[in-house]
Amino acid sequence: MRFFVSSNIKENRMLYYMLLLFLLFSVLYWVSSWLFFYTKYGFSHESLLRYYFQDPESPERISLAQLSEDMHVHTFLDSMFLLVLSSLFLQTNFPETFKKVLNATAFLTAILYHAWDMVIYFLGPHWVLPKLVLFVLLQLTVALLIILNFLFLFSNSKGEKVGISTIRLILVLFSLLSLLFIASSFMAFFSKMGFDLQGIKDYYLGNPERYMKPKTWEGMWKVFHPHLLSMPLYLLTVGHLALFSDRKKYINLMTALSFVFAFLDNTSGIAIRYLSPHFSYVKLTAFFGLQATLLFFIYLLLRD
């Protein structure tokens, strides 16, 4: 975000072309989002019911583990995507109030869209249709952001200096979406393993009495590999934004701890499976430690 606080984007030719390419990829991502939603949910009330409740005549909810895992992945993607897209939009020459309203609409719609899975899960079939409405509203808002950013980059006008109140709004909205991301992390962890050591051991080592098989190397690597990038990328982002705060001495310590916890959280599962079940202590400690550091960063963003 700090790359966009300055108003001289067009004077930096390399940054200018990188942003054009980013917007082109954003268009592809936007189109892909419609195809992804269609293949996963469909665009009808009946198809949404089938996804969440299998047979509508005898409703059986989709598993909390699957819902929380989907929320975990897509809140991360949308939080990063909207942060860059909205930060670029701050440079445009549109009225400040319009910038705030459009950015707020994008973030708040994203929060509702991702959180709505839990509304459906706990309240039942009558709440599935707003999921489609929220998706359409989110995509229309994102499309408008992309188009207006393109118009700005192709226009002759120079970027405006960003008001501090608008920057604060983006930080608050990003923090709220990050809180949903953290909540999804807790739900995913709990639904898969629970918050006890035996549940963690059973998840990785299997338990015949619970009809659980040990995790395979291939299955674990599919989780381990993307987290090697997504974890530090997210920590870099929230830590970077937290530098707007005046609590520099705490940020240094918490940043170091967050990366250590992230590394231990990601590797301890493999250690449990192939080295010793006692690494379950490390897994549980690292998970709670990582979430605590993220909450600390978000607290700074919301406070300062």
| Tokens representing residue 99 in the block | 């910038």
Beta bridge partners of 207: 212
Residue 273 has pLDDT above 80, yes or no: yes
pLDDT of residue 12: 72
Residue 1 has pLDDT above 60, yes or no: no
Q: How confident is the model over 196-242, as pLDDT tens digits?
A: 889 899 888 888 877 778 888 888 888 888 888 889 889 988 888 88
Q: How confident is the model over 153-184, as pLDDT tens digits?
A: 888 776 666 677 888 888 899 999 999 999 99
